[in-house]
Amino acid sequence: MILRIDGKLYAIVEFQHVKVQQRRPIVRTRLKQVPEGYVLEKTFMAGDKVEEVRVERRQCQYLYNSGDLYYLMDVSSFEQMPVSRSIVEPALPYLVENMNVTLLADGDRPIAIELPHIVELAVKETEPGVRGDTAQGGSKNATVETGTVINVPLFIGVGDVIRIDTRTGRYIERA
């Protein structure tokens, strides 16, 4: 959900509803400013009014970038639209060409993009896995095709395709 607070747009990252004895219930929230990415923690009392922003979700495909502009194609109308780097920046660690994404727009103005929860990326560089003094399974760092460094198990090698959770940035499994 996207909210407008003091003229700025915020996406709700997480919330907690708290009932305190003999008081009105409160909602503690963690909000992320869209598209800048600043995080704000705010508490709302029961009955507080906030403005909900209606966002349009469009399925798009990321095509390429040129300087600070990233080009997306609407998959239903095949219309190409340039989007600024500030809107795409939170997704850059996992964004590869021809990936399907969801574009969030406030009217005609793009405000953010959402990646799929799981992406498959190829390992570009990693040191060889050497078992040593590990009581449990060991891990090592691997650089994927986007340049992002992910912590992976020792058996992952260069050229392997791995699945990554884009919400947490963690390795899930080998594809």
Regions of the chain with pLDDT less than 50 = none
pLDDT at 74: 92
pLDDT at 132: 61
CATH number at residue 37: 2.30.30.30
Strand partners, 164: 119, 171
SS3 state at 83:
strand
Domain end point (choices 12, 37, 53): 53
**Largest pairwise CA distance in the chain:** 60
Q: Are 41 and 20 contained in the same domain?
A: yes
CB 30, CB 41: distance < 8 Å: yes
Number of structural domains in the chain: 3
pLDDT at 135: 55
Q: Which long-range contacts (CB under 8 A, 24 or more apart) does 40-46 make?
A: 40/10, 42/5
SS3 state at 119:
strand
Q: Are 122 and 108 contained in the same domain?
A: no
CATH number at residue 83: 2.40.50.140
Residue span of the structural domain in which 130 resides: 118-174
